[in-house]
Copies of this chain bind each other. A is one copy, B any other.
Amino acid sequence: MSPEEARELFASARIARLATAGADGVPHIVPLVFAVHGDTIFSAVDPKPKATSDLKRLRNVAANPRVALLADHYDDADWDALWWVRADGAGRVLDAAPDAVALLRARYAQYRDTPPDGPVLAVDVRRWSGWRA
């Protein structure tokens, strides 16, 4: 799959998973909704109170900016329909990012009702890759 195709497929997905690792090298993984703009992926910390473990992603990015995100399609009845796309890049935590929040609100109705007001994670993607059955 070409990087362009992987990027398009990723951008069309509704959910992705983010893998980070702290300075101790221990991997962490969370699901997130997101918006792609160019080669940057934006996601927000939801407005509802988050347990400490949820913010581990931000602490990890501060300690080690290298991250990977994955979007995929699984179909139990048809393994010939499977695909995944991965985005490898570097994360940055933004305290205020109105443009990113606007992108997220345009994509997700729930964010239009309740805008995310926490920090925004921006991931500058250095490599888009993927696989299709």
> Footprint of B on A, CB under 8 Å?
14-15, 17, 19-21, 23, 25-31, 51, 53-54, 64, 66-70, 72, 74, 76, 79, 84, 86, 88, 110, 129, 131
Contact = CB atoms under 8 A, between A and B. Distances in A.
B64 A25 contact: yes
A21 B31 contact: no
A20 B66 CA distance: 12
B84 A14 contact: no
Contacts of A72: 15, 17, 31
Given A53-B129, A79-B110, A29 B17 contact: yes
A28 B131 CA distance: 15
A68 B17 CA distance: 12
9 contacts: A15-B74, A25-B25, A26-B68, A26-B88, A27-B27, A29-B68, A29-B69, A30-B84, A30-B86
Given A53-B129, A129-B53, A27 B68 contact: yes
A113 to B, nearest CB: 10
